[in-house]
Amino acid sequence: MPSTPPSPRLIDLLRGRDPVLVLTGAGVSRESGIATFRDAGGLWEGVDPAEVATPEAFQRDPARVWRFYDARRAQAADAEPNAAHRAIAAIEATGRPFLLATQNVDGLHERAGQRGMVRLHGTLWKVRCTTCGLVTEDRRVPLVPLPPLCACGGLLRPEVVWFGEVLPMDAFGRAERAAREARLCLVVGTSSLVEPAAGIPRTALEAGAHVVEINPERTPLSPFASECLTGPAGEILPELLLRAGIPMETAA
C-alpha cells in the first residue's frame, strides 16, 4: 500500500479518457528479480559504467562488454513481467491515448502485452553490425561466440544506448510530444538522474500534466512532482487500478 494515499485527482484522471504518458526505469523490473543500476547491490555498484557501457569500452574490449550484456540477457530471459508491467499494459488496454516511454532494455514490458511504447535506451534483444549497420533480432542465450559476428564478418554490438551516445531521435521525439499532450504522467521506478530521459516529466509538468512519481525512494523529481506514491510499483500500480476500476486482466 502507498504510504500516502493517492489523490482523488489521480483516481479521476485514471478513470477518464485523457492522454496518459508513463515513463519507466529499472525499478519497474525490480520485482521481477532484475537488479537496478544505482540501488544497493545494483549493476553500477560492482561495475564501472565506463568499462562496459561506452563506445570506447567496446572499442577497447568488445568481449568484456559482451560478457556484461550476455549476463544481462540471461537474467532478463529468466525473468517474468510483474504486476507493475501488467498494470501499465492494462492502462493502455483501456483504449485511451497512451504512450509508455521506457529506459529499460529487458523486454519485460513487451512480454506483459504493451503495444504503444518507445524504447529510449534500445533493447537487449537486437544487435547491430558495426561494419554494415544491419540491425537484427537476436534472442540466443548465451551468445556464442563472444563477441558475436555479423554474416558480413563485422563485429556485432548490442542495440542499446551507451553513455556518450544520443538517444534514438524518433523515440525521444515521440516521448516529448506525449509529455506535452498528457494530462497524467506516471514516473515509475527511475532515479531521474539520467538525461535526457529525466527531462521528460519536467516537460509534462510545464505543459500542465499531473505528474505522479511511484518509487520507494525520493529522487530529484520528488520535490516537483504533483504527488509521490512511496513504495514498490508492483504493489502501488495494481492498487491504483483497483481504485480506478481498471481491470488488470484486459492486458494481453
Nearest to 201 by CA among 223, 168, 232: 223
In the bound complex, what is the minimum distance in angstroms from residue 17's beta carbon to ligand OAD? 26
Using CB atoms, what's the residue nearest to ligand OAD?
27
Closest CB to ligand OAD among 50 and 152?
50
Which cell numbers in the block locate residue 6?
493517492
In the bound complex, what is the minimum distance in angstroms from residue 103's beta carbon to ligand OAD? 4
Closest CB to ligand OAD among 103 and 123?
103
Judged by the rule CB under 6 A, the positions of this chain that interact with ligand OAD are: 25-27, 30-31, 36-39, 42, 49, 53, 103, 121, 161, 163, 189-191, 193-194, 214-217, 219, 232-233
In the bound complex, what is the minimum distance in angstroms from residue 24's beta carbon to ligand OAD? 8
Closest CB to ligand OAD among 85 and 121?
121
Closest CB to ligand OAD among 143 and 187?
187
Q: Torsion over CA of 138, 140, 146 and 151, rounded to 10 degrees?
A: -50
Rg of the chain, C-alpha, whole Å: 18
Nearest to 24 by CA among 16, 6, 13, 36: 36
In the bound complex, what is the minimum distance in angstroms from residue 47's beta carbon to ligand OAD? 11
In the bound complex, what is the minimum distance in angstroms from residue 144's beta carbon to ligand OAD? 24
In the bound complex, what is the minimum distance in angstroms from residue 21's beta carbon to ligand OAD? 16
**Residue 109 is among the residues annotated as catalytic for this protein:** no
Strands (E), the chain: 20-24, 98-102, 117-119, 122-129, 135-137, 156-160, 184-188, 210-214, 227-229
Phi-psi region at 228: left, alpha or beta (left = phi > 0; alpha = psi -120 to 50): beta
DSSP annotation string for 22-61: EEE-GGGGGGGT---SSSTT-HHHHS-HHHHSSHHHHHH-
Reduced to 3 states (helix: H, G, I; strand: E, B; else coil), residue 92 is: helix
Closest CB to ligand OAD among 74 and 95?
74
d(CA 18, CA 83) in angstroms, rounded, equals 23
Closest CB to ligand OAD among 50 and 193?
193
Task: Identify residue 30 by its one-letter amino acid code.
Answer: R
DSSP state of 218: -
* Catalytic residue chosen out of the listed positions 85, 109, 121, 210: 121
Q: Annotated catalytic sites, by residue?
A: 121
